[in-house]
A and B are shown apart, each in its own frame.
Chain A
Amino acid sequence: MKILGLFLAIILTFASAAFAQDLQVPQNAVAGEGASISTSGSGSATFYLTGPGTSLKRDFKRGETISLSADDLAYAGRYTAALDGGGAQSFFVTAAKPAKLNFMARPSRVPVAHPDVISGVVFVLDRNDNLITTPTTVNFQLGIAGSAPTTRPLQSKNGIAWIKAGSGNREGAAQFTASVGDISAKRVVQQVASDPCNLRMKAQADGKNIQLQTEPIKDCSGNAVPDGTIVTFSESAGGRGRSTVDARVKHGVARATLPSVPGATLTVASGVVLGNEIRWSGGQ
């Protein structure tokens, strides 16, 4: 009984192989390009093709060549061709040449002169959005108008290339570009001024008040701090109370009016950055 079973299995295997040999599937099919499958034998048959996003059925005569259009093989991946009455063969369709880059750049706004704050991720795709998994050189370029851009070529791995980059020293709209050959994708990363640096103010008597004004407020790279930034002026007179004004930077400087209290200490700060201190003598 066991010998009989083994014999039948061998027969079936050979029969299946014989049917499979009826189909000659393409060995180097490329997504989005047509291909043909040659058949052998005689008589009518039905051809089936299944693959990523594809499923078709076609009647044909054995011995003819089955033509598959570019649309039939639009997506990369494993396809299976089969004939009715048994017999099936699988083949792989690879992605075509790079035609599109999906580029994700984060964040859209960064302070200047910070290391590793910008990240860019590129997915290399062909014209049918198939991920190209073969290593591809992606050129990342980050630059701001008026200064030389920095370029870094990187190899993609499994279709993805990514980079971590630091922001430049100048504020403005930095062009962040990823390119493969003549295909490129561009993003804009707004480089903004960092924390104020060397915050200084001066005081002037104005009747019963003190007029306080900062020098032009800049970050440590020399970029002007944007208007609207909060600058806190404080006046502390020990047991005689204190006064504070959260002023806004306007045209590069911040101004405030505080009551004049002789002997008071005047301070200025913006966020967590402290500026200079003035001992107010009453404007004498």
Chain B
Amino acid sequence: MRLGSIVMIVLLLVLIGAGTVQTKSLHISANTPETALQSFFAQVKAKHWDDAFAMVQPGSGVEKESFIKDLGGNNESLKTISALQDVKTKILRESGNESDLRADLQWSTAVGALHESRDFKLVNDEGQWKIVWTPPAKNDGPPKPLPTTYLRWDVVQRGSSRDEWGVQNVEPPRMRIISMNAIEYQGGVTILGEVVNEDTVPGFVTINAILLDKDGNSIAEESSFDKISHTLLPKEISPFRVDFANRKLADVKSVRISPTNILVPAAADPVVGVFNQRIEKDPNGKSILRGELVTQGGQTVNIPHVLATFYDQSGKVIWVSDGYVDKALLPQQAVPFAVDLRDDLAGQVQNYRITVNYYNSNRS
């Protein structure tokens, strides 16, 4: 019994000590605005939302729930399945008890790294640097549920056991590649183009490309992976991009492109509008194509994927770029997006087209 009391007292002392050290480390890290922001994102990285929120300056409109949703995502968006990988902070302005900082965040996701750049204001509150949290802009009211009455295609396959010879299932949709361009980029070869579903039924398409040398031998084979909108509804056009690393265009005599297409069930909903599209420079001077996504139907889009096709003066596809949006699209609510544009091509771009692909958690 006495031994138990001694153990309990020792354990208590250890815990108190650990708590002191933890508090001390937070205090130490909050000595400068930059270390305060680093410390804040260390808590975000560990998803210690209480500790992170404790570093936020209390104020009107600052609610813990919206704070967590802003940083951790909601509605099964890409943010909810992401992890903060790296944070780089930079002081933009420093004056007495106030500082403006920029944080370049890198999130790791299932679809690759996501980059985010956010500006923060920090204030010194009785020796502690606190983050002035700007709540995300609220949309006009809560999401409006709308009925979804769009067409849906289902595929009914014939039984194969007692089919008469020559009888077949429905054929895959007719897809046609309407443009193609091969370029050299960053020590590799990239095949760009567009494919259209010419049929009256939806299809799932993948573009496979084979590089052939002067003797007709295959040099390399790649597919479009996620640089394409795979499910195409009737008359829908998607860009595609196939990247071959460590290849030279001079070694390539020809390219064999083969679209693989199959008939798939699909729904005509959701309809996503892409508004206010414009090419501009980001704070780092990089060319960015920005805009806003708005679903015009009643369905939530969990993970939007934006594909941008850039054309030159002659209408030739000169680049295809894509980007995932880390926020879910709620009905009728605008969500901003940004897609990279190669700076060396910014001057050549005469036109562009944006298509929106999406991944839904309840998609069947």
Contacts and interface: CB of A to CB of B under 8 A. Distances in A.
Interface of A: 102-109, 111, 185, 187, 192-193, 195-196, 225-231, 240-248, 250, 256-259, 270-273
Given A108-B170, A193-B200, A228-B268, A243 B234 contact: no
A257 B273 CA distance: 8
Interface of A is mostly: strand
B359 interface: no
Which of B169, B200, B274, B353 has most chain A Cβ within 10 Å?
B200
A255 to B, nearest CB: 9
Nearest to B290: A241
15 contacts: A103-B166, A109-B200, A111-B200, A185-B166, A196-B235, A227-B151, A230-B236, A230-B237, A241-B276, A243-B277, A256-B271, A257-B273, A271-B196, A271-B235, A272-B178
Given A228-B268, A230-B234, A109 B171 contact: yes
Given A106-B171, A246-B271, 5 more contacts: A108-B168, A226-B200, A228-B202, A244-B273, A258-B273
Contacts, number: 109
Contact of A228 (B169, B234, B274): B234
B273 A243 contact: yes
Which of B196, B276, B291, B356 has most chain A Cβ within 10 Å?
B276
B274 A243 contact: yes
Contact of A229 (B165, B235, B353): B235
A105 B275 CA distance: 46
Interface of B: 150-151, 153, 165-171, 178, 196-202, 233-237, 268-269, 271-278, 291, 296, 353-356
A119 to B, nearest CB: 12
B274 A227 contact: no
A248 B166 contact: no
B275 A259 contact: yes
B143 to A, nearest CB: 17
A176 B151 CA distance: 29
A248 B170 contact: no
A248 B275 contact: no
Contacts of B198: 111, 195, 271
A244 B274 contact: yes
Contacts of B269: 248
Which of B235, B273, B353 has most chain A Cβ within 10 Å?
B235
Given A226-B234, A248-B233, A272-B178, A256 B273 contact: yes
B193 to A, nearest CB: 14
A111 to B, nearest CB: 8
B146 to A, nearest CB: 12
B354 A108 contact: no
Nearest to B176: A272
Contact of A241 (B165, B199, B277): B277
A110 B277 CA distance: 37
Contacts of A229: 200, 233-235
Nearest to B354: A244
A157 B278 CA distance: 64
A218 B104 CA distance: 51
B166 A102 contact: yes
Which of A105, A111, A193, A243 has most chain B Cβ within 10 Å?
A243
Given A102-B166, A271-B196, A246 B355 contact: yes
Contacts of B274: 243-245
B299 to A, nearest CB: 13
